[in-house]
Amino acid sequence: MPATTNRPLRLFIDIGLWLLTVAITLLGLAALTFFIGRILPIDPVLSIVGEKALPEVYQRVYLELGLDKPLWQQFIDYVIKLLRGDFGTSFSTSRPVLTDLLNFFPATLELSTIGLLIGVALGVPMGVASAYWHEKWPDHLIRIIGLVGYSVPVFWLGLVGLFVFYYLLDWVAGPGQLDVFYVGVVDRVTGMILIDSALAGEWDIFWNAVSHMILPALLLGYYSLAYISRMTRSVMLDQLSREYVLTARLKGASEFRVVMGHALRNAAIPLVTVIALSYGGLLEGSVLIETIFSWPGIGNYIYSSLFAADMNAVLGGTLLVGIVFVLLNMLSDVLYRVLDPRSRELAK
Amino acid sequence: MSLENQIDTRTALRAARITELKRFAARFMRNPLGVLGLIIVLLLLFTAAFAPFLATHDPYLPTLSARLSAPNAEFWFGADELGRDIYSRLIYGSRLTLLIVGLVIVTSAPIGLVIGAVSGTAGGWVDAVFMRITDVFLSIPKLLLALAFVAALGPGIVNAALAITLTAWPPYARLARAEALVIRNSDFVNAVRLAGASEARIVFLHIIPMCLSSVIVRMTFDMAGIILTAAGLGFIGLGAQPPLPEWGAMISTGRKFIFDQWWVATIPGAAIFVVSLGFNLLGDALRDLLDPHLRQRN
């Protein structure tokens, strides 16, 4: 095989091709948001200058926005602006959209990361149990739990959760990130309230934030758990039917060792991909959850911008979440190759 | 002689199909969860078809004296903020749910199938370009794309369905392409090609029909997802507009009363949940039956 004779070159080409794929996908994403911005029934000039503007003013803004140029030229200008980090200006906050997004992103990241941790911590063991007791009652039970997670509208579950655990039982704090009198007490360092309050040593605030976060995080966790446990189950089923498992059993390894030490280790590689993908899904799921829980993140920003007809902000938010999503997808692809030596050999 | 033979094969073929169908039904009936899913889906169809007979009130008629009344003998699931009967609105809402799902499925599946089948059959740069486009759509968060798209087009049922279609076709393209890659060089396709069939004929009459069983499974699962996305758009306020009794939009208005009049928001949500669970259960059962890869493994 010529590939093995020239390994560095091969690797170089692979990385180049991968970067090209990422670039094309991101360009496609930009093309989509550009296209959506173009089909807007609202005249972008009018939304800036207002109905009563003089024709000269209208004309000047029209030229400034580059609307006289051919479409492809406008698209190239758009991409160049994006590359410079210019996502346009938000009409409602009159700040650059990127500044707004970076303000709100940490809160979303914090919530979805904790959701993911919950999803992995529960989903993987559930998937393993489901595969180990294949077609027995634990399997059926776990599959049903997963199916419910797939079928339930997450925003509705949020409302029901608030009603039961906040209003009826009073176990958790209500919507928002903190109780009102704690807001703004802690200096903003990372934008993630748990880290910031811990850094400041304000443990009251920390526990208050936990109490606010637990319900939305659990819901997001459940949302990802459904997917993670199902995928874990199918990967583990495949691994447990392999011959090396039989060999290990014949050699007298304990069941725990066979499942955890052998099968799960081999299943771990595809699972990394699954987990990375569900992280992307969580970022999206947080849009609806954030609106229910008034969580000050990207989802809420997009939601409130929608009602202000602030398309720059909506498209900017979509673009940012899209970019993170694409990068996570690509990252999972890379991780798969790095972790699984076979995929490197068999790739070409 | 030849005519008799032909008739003979035809009856034999029909008999074989009937036996196959019966066997399929028998295997399906052995899966209780699948049967439950089927019952839920059939109930949904029934409700939508006979909505005027099942409803107890006019879904649009406000009874201001009954505003936000709790479930009782007259209003089985209570009344909303204008005193409209929630039960009757739910019944009529099933039509909207089916409308959106139907619109999305009849547009997204054929688009995806044709793109995938052409891509897989043609190969070369056509394939490369089409699959790149498919990948771009697959790697973008669905709900957000739909949201931005409807935000630009303006809210409404048809626009919501269009937006969901835009995000729903890529899996079908992937599926059809994979199938086409396997089939395009198989003996029967080569035989048809030698017999002078055009490439278009091969794609539409031979490759697309071979994809149908996997497509049906995929569609059933997708319907659950479409219902959830449509409800999400309705909830955000971008789907069906008031006073239409769309379930997601009903949750959205009931949200204001969640603590004091919980039934306004929770009951439509329960309906969404049950229906999407039904499609998921049915999809699971159909996949176990139709997916050739799984059949081999068991």
What one-character DSSP code corresponds to residue B255? G
- The predicted model gives A117-141 an average pLDDT of 91
> How many CB atoms are located within 10 Å of the residue B20 CB?
10
CB–CB of A314 and B151 under 8 A? yes
Q: B118 and B18, same structural domain? A: no
The pLDDT mean for chain A works out to: 84
Contacts of B273 in chain A (CB under 8 A): 148, 151-153, 156
Which residue has better confidence, B213 or A219?
A: A219
| Residues B48 and B106 occupy one common structural domain | yes
Mutation site for A-interface testing, chosen from B131, B144, B261, B273 by largest number of A Cβ within 10 Å:
B144
Q: Do A288 and B235 touch (CB under 8 A)?
A: yes
Packing angle, helices A154-161 and B263-290, rounded to 10: 140
Query: CA nearest B203: which of B221, B224, B226, B183?
Result: B183
- So what's the pLDDT on residue B294? 54
CATH number for the domain harbouring residue B116: 1.10.3720.10
pLDDT computed for residue B297 by the predictor: 44
Q: Are residues B117 and B177 in the same domain?
A: yes
Is there a cis peptide before residue B243, judged by omega within 30 degrees of 0? yes
Tell me: do B70 and B211 sit in the same domain: yes
Q: Which amino acid, residue B181?
A: L
Residues counted in chain B? 298
- Mean pLDDT over residues A106-133, rounded? 92
Q: Is A149 exposed, middle or buried (0-12, 13-18, 19+ CB in 10 A)?
A: buried
Q: How far is CA B17 from the centre of its chain?
A: 26
A24–B136 CB contact, under 8 Å? yes
The answer, yes or no, to whether residue A303 has pLDDT greater than 60, is yes
pLDDT at residue B190, as a whole number: 86
Overall average pLDDT of the A67-75 stretch: 80
Task: Print the domain residue range for B20.
Answer: 1-30
Return d(Cα B161, Cα B181) in angstroms, integer.
Answer: 30
The DSSP 8-state label assigned to residue B83 in this structure reads: -
- Do B133 and B219 belong together in one domain? yes
Can you tell me which residue has the tokens 């929608």? A306
* Cα B199 → chain centroid: 30
Question: What's the confidence (pLDDT) of residue A343?
Answer: 63
B125 and B249 belong to one structural domain: yes
Residues B25 and B46 in one domain: no
3-state secondary structure of B158: helix
The pLDDT value recorded for residue A42 is: 65
| Backbone dihedral angles phi then psi of residue A296, each to the nearest 5 degrees | -75, 65
Residue B2: per-residue pLDDT: 58
Q: What is the pTM of this model?
A: 0.86
B24 & B37 share domain: no
How far apart CA B122 and CA B207 sit, in angstroms, is 12
Pick among A155, A223, A234, A323 to test the B interface (most B CBs inside 10 A): A155
**Confidence bin at A344 (pLDDT 50/70/90):** low
User: Quick one: pLDDT at residue B298?
Assistant: 38
Q: How many Å apart are CA A28 and CA A34, to the nearest integer?
A: 10
CA–CA gap between residue A308 and residue A91 (Å, rounded): 8
* Mean pLDDT across A212-241: 90
CB contact under 8 A, B144 and A152: no
CA A177 – CA A305 distance, rounded (Å): 20
Query: Which two structure tokens, joined as six digits, stand for A70?
Result: 């051919």
The residue written with tokens 């028998």 in the block is: B26
Q: What is the ipTM of this complex?
A: 0.84
Q: In the A/B pair of chains, how many CB contacts fall below 8 A?
A: 134
- B79 in the same domain as B21: no
The Cα–Cα gap between B68 and A342 comes to: 63
- Confidence grade of residue A347 (pLDDT, cut at 50, 70, 90): very low
User: Are residues B122 and B25 both part of a single domain?
Assistant: no
First to last CA, chain B: 44
Q: What is the mean pLDDT of each run of 10 residues along chain B (298 residues)?
A: 66 86 84 90 93 85 80 82 87 92 92 90 86 82 85 87 90 88 84 86 83 83 89 88 89 86 88 94 85 51
Task: Write the secondary structure of A176-245 as one string of H (helix), E (strand) and C (coil).
Answer: CCCCHHHCCCCCCCCCCHHHHHHHCCCHHHHHHHHHHHHHHHHHHHHHHHHHHHHHHHHHHHHHHCCHHH
Candidates B78, B81, B77; CA nearest to B69 is B78
Within 13 Å, how many C-alpha atoms sit on residue A234's CB side?
A: 11
Locate tokens 């991909």: which residue? Answer: A273
Nearest to A159 among B224, B255, B284 (CB): B255
The distance of A9 to chain B (nearest Cα, Å) reads 24
Backbone phi, psi, residue B70, to 5°? -70, 160
**Could you give the 3-state DSSP secondary structure of residue B79?**
strand
Whole-number Cα distances in Å, A269 to A221, A239, A264, A266, B267: 21, 12, 9, 6, 42
Task: Show residues of chain A in contact with B248, CB under 8 Å.
Answer: 153
| Shared-domain flag, residues B18 and B139 | no
Quote the minimal CA–CA distance from A186 to chain B in Å.
Answer: 31
Q: For residue B37, how far is the Cα from the chain centroid?
A: 14
Pair B22, B62 in one domain: no
Number of domains in chain B: 2
Contact call for B228 and A24, based on CB within 8 A: no
Cβ-nearest to B265 among A151, A159, A329: A159
How far is B78 from A180, CA to CA, in rounded Å? 34
B269/A156 Cβ within 8 A: yes
How much is the pLDDT for B5? 65
- Closest-CA residue of B relative to A313 is B148
Report the alpha-carbon distance of residue B239 to residue B249 in Å, rounded: 7
A309 Ramachandran zone, left/alpha/beta (phi>0; psi -120 to 50)? left
* Residues present in chain A in total: 348
Nearest CB to B152; choose among A39, A153, A155:
A39
For the segment A8-40, what is each residue's pLDDT rounded down to a tens digit?
Answer: 787 788 788 888 888 888 888 888 888 888 777
Residues of A in Cβ contact (< 8 Å) with B137? 28
Tokens standing for A307? 């009602």
Residue B92 burial by Cβ neighbours in a 10 Å radius (0-12, 13-18, 19+): buried
Question: In this structure, what token pair is assigned to residue A33?
Answer: 């948001």
Amino acid identity at A68: D
Instruction: Give me the pLDDT at residue B291, please.
Output: 65
Residues of B in contact with A284 (CB under 8 A): 141-144
